[in-house]
A and B are shown apart, each in its own frame.
Chain A
Amino acid sequence: QVQLQESGPGLVKPSQTLSLTCTVSGGSISSGGYYWSWIRQHPGKGLEWIGYIYYSGSTYYNPSLKSRVTISVDTSKNQFSLKLSSVTAADTAVYYCARARGIAKGRYYFDYWGQGTLVTVSS
């Protein structure tokens, strides 16, 4: 059973960089076949896909966040990470990591999720 666990600071100051890591257990990121994703949910709101990464390092980002987002992978640690720069209060959200499984090229849904971590942007 694949499990994902987010970790990182719960409080980030405005204009700084939000950094989160997702540790995957029960399966190897390097085995391929899946993309590894970040998704966020503003308090009381819907879900927003941030982007994802393949074990090779190939990434796709949501254009709405692309200028501020970097997703990276560390296969030796079976982890992938999110960096979101120049944060504002609007970036306050629960951040989830998730495994993306494809049914066709470029067509992915999310079958395993972490529990989520609340990140608050405040001075």
Chain B
Amino acid sequence: DIQLTQSPSFLSASVGDRVTITCRASQGISSYLAWYQQKPGKAPKLLIYAASTLQSGVPSRFSGSGSGTEFTLTISSLQPEDFATYYCQQLNSYPFTFGPGTKVDIK
């Protein structure tokens, strides 16, 4: 199985901050990576697929980049509704796997 790690596992930030989350894969996965946002008690919400393609309806302050084994999710200006946990998912090979998550909390 392809293992995904995320860093940091937790970050504390303020509204308006630029936030970057990193996802690393245990082997190359080309651009086959997605990012999700999950709020407490809710289902995950797709933000980005194919490493950098913004899902329809997702604000443009979210962006993704990377290929191979290292990927980043950037929130250009953190908004109150962005405080949540973020997961990456590799779709390169079976079984699909998710990262352990990065919780973004209010400073």
Task: List A residues at the B interface (Cβ < 8 Å).
Answer: 46-49, 60, 62-64, 96, 98, 101, 103-104, 106-111, 113-116
Contacts and interface: CB of A to CB of B under 8 A. Distances in A.
B93 A106 contact: yes
Interface string B35-57: 01000001111100110000100
B96 A103 contact: no
8 contacts: A48-B98, A60-B94, A63-B95, A106-B94, A110-B44, A110-B46, A110-B89, A113-B44
Contact of A103 (B32, B87, B98, B101): B32
Given A103-B49, A103-B50, A103-B91, A47 B32 contact: no
Majority secondary structure of chain B interface residues (helix, strand, loop or mixed): loop
B100 interface: yes
Contacts of B78: none
B89 A109 contact: yes
A48 B98 CA distance: 7
B46 A111 contact: yes
Interface of B: 32, 34, 36, 42-46, 49-50, 55, 87, 89, 91-101
Contacts of B101: 46
Contact of B96 (A96, A108, A111, A114): A108
A2 to B, nearest CB: 12
A109 B95 contact: no
A64 B95 contact: yes
A49 B46 contact: no
B26 to A, nearest CB: 15
A43 B69 CA distance: 28
Given A96-B43, A107-B32, A110-B46, 20 more contacts: A47-B44, A49-B95, A60-B94, A62-B95, A63-B95, A64-B95, A96-B44, A98-B43, A103-B91, A104-B32, A106-B94, A109-B46, A109-B89, A109-B91, A110-B44, A110-B89, A111-B49, A111-B55, A114-B43, A115-B42
